[in-house]
Amino acid sequence: MKARKIILISYDIEISDANGSIKKIPYDIKRSIADIFLAPHLKLNGSSLIKNWKIAEKILGCEEDFILLTPEEFSILSSAIEVIDVFTKNDVEMIRRIQEAEVVEVEEKKK
């Protein structure tokens, strides 16, 4: 079975504090990707919300530096990033990692 491998290693982003000073903080890529699955812009019905929530939980619970998404999960994510229109420069690296996710061959677990 094929899967998409998305790198989940945090990266630094620059933000302005209340005084206008720029500081670097780590970007929570797992939380940001999980939030994409639940974004209001997607106008999810109940069934879709539950389905997307399960994928978001999978990402949030991932302890590896990467996540493998099934073709269906990746399709949902790819479609969502085309619908959501509130991304900023801080999201560029995350979007690049999603769009350029490597296709890898994985063995299916035997039941």
What is the tens place of the pLDDT at every residue in 49-93?
A: 999 999 999 999 999 999 999 999 999 999 999 999 999 999 999
pLDDT higher than threshold 80 for residue 45: yes
Confirm if 26 and 12 have CB atoms less than 8 A apart.
yes
Tokens 């994409």, residue?
36
Please provide residue 41's backbone torsions phi and psi, each rounded to the nearest 5 degrees: -60, -20
Contacts of 19 by beta carbon, 8 Å cutoff, 6+ apart: none
pTM check: above 0.75: yes
Q: What one-letter code names the amino acid at 92? A: V
Of the two residues 107 and 73, the one the predictor is more confident about is 73
Terminal-residue alpha carbon distance, the chain: 15
Q: What one-letter code names the amino acid at 39? A: A
Q: What one-letter code names the amino acid at 69? A: L
Sequence spans of domains, the chain: 2-105
